Amino acid sequence: MKKSKKAVQIFSVMVLVLSLFFSPAIAAAAVELATTYPGIAAGSGEVVTFPLEIVNNGSQSRVVTLQVEALPEGWHASIEGKGRQVNQVYVFANSEANADLKVQIPRELEQGVYTVTVSASAEGTILDRLNLQIKVSQESTGADQLKAQYSEIKGSADASFNYKLTLTNNSNAEQVYSLGADLPQGWQISFKPSYEQQEVASIPVAAGQSVDLNVSITPAPGVEAGEYDVDVYAVSAQGQVSERLTLIISGSYRMEYTTASERLNTELVAGQEKKITMVVRNTGSAPLNNIRLSASTPKDWNVSYDVEKIEFLKPGEEQQVTATITASSKAIAGDYALTLTAYADEIRKVADMRVTVKTSTLWGLVGVVIVLLVCGGVYWIFRKYGRR
């Protein structure tokens, strides 16, 4: 009986010792440190993000300290929660908390697999460790991308240049990208998600996903013809990606054709001619070539020019020409419409004129003379034959 009692006592002591010996292991198992993708590929110079899950399997809430234990030389890392650096998280019982480990990879780095170790501890006791592997290659397989379907577009200066870009998030977490561009002064740009009309300044992209963007660039008024480069970029917490877009501007074609006084009405006597000074003005940003002058007139009218063709007119320049309008001798008094046209190889412009025709004063004098002659003849007849 004494031996049995002694054996029970020895067994109880052994259980107590074993429980004390294994208590740290049990505590360690109560907290786990995990991430969905512990091994990723990235390129030198990138910032990679590992979403961390701190799981508390215990029945008591606790404060867990997070620490980067091992980091390759020259690398930088930080643990963040809701955009701020943290070193501790509070985890409720039978629950989990989240944090982000951000790792900055040096720009000049040999290819290879590198390990980063993160630990979770409480009251000085390590509860769990997590080894993360980053495979670095020169191809930057993990880099985000911003690519244009067509990076060069040609058009006139008064047109909008529309590009389709694809923004790809190659990280293992959702990223919000701020959109922008380096524009010349006076230029405008807009970003719209494909199949949407709302302009956006930023856009979220899920991990491993892509979004299409419609980008519209409008040059400043009066921009000269030429080739222009615009760098478009998307900035996230992980870094920046950009794409260079090229606009080949052929210039805008605009022309004014009017009188020197800018009045498009005049008066003319039937059968006579009148000279009018016309002005051809290049108000666009591209040269005008082979400007021909013509006119559409009523029957038996005529319009001639002292210059039949203007070979070349630079932007901002003008040239005066003299148009001679000859009215028909049979024209009766009234208003007549004439269309004067200037044709260039690139554009056409018309000037619609109203010509008021008046009868000649000579015919009025002739009428007066005839009336006087008739009156004089009647008077002579009465004088000669009136007394008989």
- What are the tens digits of pLDDT across the range 287-305? 899 999 999 999 999 999 9
145-249 has the same fold as 25-137: yes
The Cα–Cα gap between 232 and 238 comes to: 17
Question: What's the CA gap between 81 and 83, in Å, rounded?
Answer: 5
C-alpha–C-alpha distance, residues 48 and 289, integer Å: 57
- Digit-coded pLDDT (tens) for 199-222: 999 999 998 899 999 999 999 987
Say how far apart CA 82 and CA 86 lie, in whole Å. Answer: 9
Listed as ranges, residues in the chain with pLDDT below 70 are 1-29, 138-142, 360-367, 384, 386-388
Any idea which architecture 255-360 has in CATH? Sandwich (2.60)
Provide the pairing of β-strand 125-137 with 39-43.
parallel
Token code pair at residue 302: 């005529």
CATH (residue range 145-249):
2.60.40.10
List the chain domain ranges: 25-137, 145-249, 255-360
The rounded radius of gyration (Å) of the Cα atoms in the chain is 45
* Long-range residue pairs from 234-237, CB within 8 A, at least 24 positions apart, any chain: 234/144, 234/146, 234/167, 234/177, 234/178, 234/179, 235/177, 235/178, 235/180, 236/144, 236/169, 236/175, 236/176, 236/177, 236/178, 237/47, 237/49, 237/83, 237/102, 237/175, 237/176
Which pLDDT belongs to residue 22? 45
**Beta-sheet pairing, 31-34 with 84-85:** unpaired
Q: What is the pLDDT of residue 21?
A: 47
CATH superfamily of 25-137: Immunoglobulins (2.60.40.10)
Asked whether the beta carbons of 130 and 33 are under 8 A apart, the reply is yes
Q: What is the pTM of this model?
A: 0.46
pLDDT tens per residue across span 225-259: 889 999 999 999 878 899 999 999 987 788 999 99
Q: Which amino acid is at 149?
A: Q
